[in-house]
Amino acid sequence: MKWVTEVDKSDLIKEIAVELKKIDELVPPEWSMFVRTGNDKQKPPIEIDWWYMRTASIMIKVVYLGPVGVSKLRTKFGGKKRRGHKPAEFRKASGNIIRTILQQLEKAGLIKQQDKGVHKGKVLTPKGMSFINTIAKAVFKKKPKKSVATKPKDAEKPVEKAKVSKEVANALDTTKKSSGKPVEKKPAEEKKPKEDKAESVEKKQVKEPKSNEEKPAEEVKVEEVAEEKAVEDSKTESPVNSETDKSKSKEE
């Protein structure tokens, strides 16, 4: 049974169900269209070929658990029953369905009764083992193989970046956040020699304040314009004053 363990069970059961339809002994009874598969179910199965699917799954259970009987298979195919507001409870599957399927498989020569120590039940016959093994092998060949991508030998390895300590990396991050560019270190300035206090006092005395004559050109122009206006005002006022003086002399 090498191939059975290397194949997906759902795919294997579907393929076995297709092959079981070709066997004359395996015929679903009339009541299979209306019956529920267990007390935990609320409705009968929806699929038309559910009888062959259940037969295939029972054969797989016999492969792994054989010798196995009806009671153990009922627990394997059971489920939880919903009870409204109460917590769900486990219920066994229908015994009549499993019993009739085992009888049909035994008539077809795919299983047989066997005693193995304390355990008693059904096991696969050599015919049944070869039947499942051939189907599993066909399913395994259909399975797509995983493509492994091979790298070229002459491929250049990527250059590894130089490792930087955490402290240096944190410092660089802070400088980049504060200013977009990293901070550059300035060269150390040479220290100037200290001057004596006496020399500094003499330099201050040598500096004389600016004389009043040294004025900027704008101030000079403003003063010239003001003088010209004063001269014009004096010229305009002189004829009026002369007329007033003449009138005063005549009156006298």
Percent of the chain scored above 90 by pLDDT? 18
| Amino acid 102: pLDDT | 92
- Determine the Cα–Cα distance for residues 20 and 52; give it in Å rounded to an integer: 7
The DSSP output letter for 32 is: G
pLDDT confidence band for 5 (50 / 70 / 90):
confident
Read off the pLDDT of each residue in 51-66 and give the average, rounded to a whole number. Answer: 90
Answer whether 59's CB lies under 8 Å from 105's CB: yes
Q: How far is the first Cα of the chain from the last one, in angstroms, to the nearest whole number?
A: 160
| Amino acid 87: pLDDT | 93
The DSSP output letter for 68 is: B
| Amino acid 211: pLDDT | 47
Does the pTM surpass 0.85? The reply is: no
Domain borders along the chain are: 2-142
| Amino acid 11: pLDDT | 87
Answer whether 24's CB lies under 8 Å from 63's CB: no
| Amino acid 212: pLDDT | 47
The CATH code belonging to domain 2-142 is: 1.10.10.10
pLDDT digits (tens, 9 = 90+) for 161-216: 555 566 666 776 776 656 555 445 555 555 555 555 555 555 555 554 444 445 55
Percent of the chain scored above 70 by pLDDT? 61
- Give residue 114's Cα distance to chain centre: 55
- Top pLDDT among 214 and 112 is at 112
